[in-house]
Amino acid sequence: MNEAPAAPKQPGFGAIFTVFLAAGGVSFGGGVLAYLRDYIVNGRRWLDNDDFLDALEVSETLPGLNSVNMAVIIGDRLRGIAGAAVAVFGLMLPGTVAMMTLGALWVRQSQNPNVNAFLVGVAAAAVGLLLTVTLQLGHKQFVRPLDLMLIAATFVAVSVFKISLLWVLLTIGTVAVWFYRPRGDAATAEHMVHLRERLHSHRAHWRH
C-alpha cells in the first residue's frame, strides 16, 4: 500500500479504490455525488471544490450516470485510464453484489404479493426523491422562461406524445443549443478575445 501523505497529487490505486468503494457502498437513492464530494474534496483533498464542480458540469452534459462519469473523470485525472478503471470498479462493486443478490431473490419471489407491495411503496417513495433531485438540479432552469419552455417541451414530447428519446435529443436538443449559440456581435467578439487569453493562460498552466 502506498500511503505517502506528502503526495496528494498522485494517490495510489488502493486509495482510489477505497474511496470509490466507500462512496458506492454507503450511498442510497442517488446520493453518490454528495459522498464523493465529501471524500474527495473535504477528506482527501484530491480536488478543490471548483475542479469538482467543473467535472460535474462535464458529467451532467455527457450521456451516462453522473456518478459513474465522475468516477471516470476523477480517476483519469488522478492516475490516467487505470485510475478511471479502478474508480469505476470500486464505485460499482458494492451495488453490483447487492443487486445480484436482491435480483436472484426477487426472481424467485416476483409473484409474492408482500414483496410486490413493499416494492410499490419503495417506488412511491422514490418518486418523491426523484422529484426532489430534479427540482434541486434544475432550480436555475425552472425560473428562466426560455429554459422552462424547453423543460416543458421535452417533458410533453416524451411523456405525452411518447416520441423516442433519440428524436427528442436531435430536435429539442438542437433547438436548445441553437438558442444558446454564440452570437457574432461586437460584445461577443470582445468576449472571445478575453476567452482566448484565458485559454492561453490555462494552457500555460497545464504545462506545469
Partner 1 sequence: MGHKLISLAWVFVMLSLLAVGGGTAVLPEMQHMTVHQFHWVTDQQFRDIYSLGQVAPGPNMLMVMVIGYRIAGVAGAAVVTVAFFLPDCLLTLYANRMWRRYQDSPWRQAIQRGMAPVAIGLMLSGTFAIAKLSIHNAVSFAIAAASLGILMWRRINPVILIAVGGTIYLIFKSGFFA
Tell me the one-letter amino acid at 42.
N
C-alpha cell at 75: 480517476
Closest CA relative to residue 41, chosen from 70, 84, 79: 70
Q: How far is the CB of 49 from partner 1 (least distance, A)?
A: 17
Query: Contact at 8 Å (CB) between 88 and 75?
Result: yes
Q: Which residues in 112-141 contact partner 1 (CB under 8 A)?
A: 113-135, 137-138, 140-141
The footprint of partner 1 on this chain (CB under 8 A) covers a number of residues equal to 106
Residue closer to partner 1 by CB (options 2, 200) is 200
Residue closer to partner 1 by CB (options 1, 159) is 159
Residue closer to partner 1 by CB (options 1, 208) is 208
Residue closer to partner 1 by CB (options 10, 188) is 188
Q: Which residues in 5-24 contact partner 1 (CB under 8 A)?
A: 24
Long-range pairs, 30-38, Cβ under 8 A, ≥24: 30/67, 30/129, 30/130, 30/133, 32/66, 32/67, 32/91, 33/66, 33/67, 33/70, 36/67, 36/70, 36/71, 36/74
Q: How far is the CB of 2 from partner 1 (least distance, A)?
A: 23
Q: Which residues in 34-93 contact partner 1 (CB under 8 A)?
A: 55, 57-69, 72-73, 76, 81, 84, 88, 91-92
Out of 4, 14, 49, 179, the residue judged to bind partner 1 by CB under 8 A: 179
C-alpha cell at 190: 470582445
Residue closer to partner 1 by CB (options 4, 62) is 62
Going 52 to 54 to 60 to 65, the CA torsion angle's sign is: negative
Q: How far is the CB of 191 from partner 1 (least distance, A)?
A: 8
The rounded distance, in Å, linking the Cα atoms of 63 and 144 is 24
Residue closer to partner 1 by CB (options 10, 112) is 112
Q: Which residues in 137-176 contact partner 1 (CB under 8 A)?
A: 137-138, 140-142, 144, 146-148, 150-155, 158-159, 162, 164-166, 168-169, 172-173, 176
Cα–Cα distances (Å) from 80 to 77, 85, 102, 161, 193, in that order, read: 6, 9, 34, 43, 32
Q: How far is the CB of 40 from partner 1 (least distance, A)?
A: 16
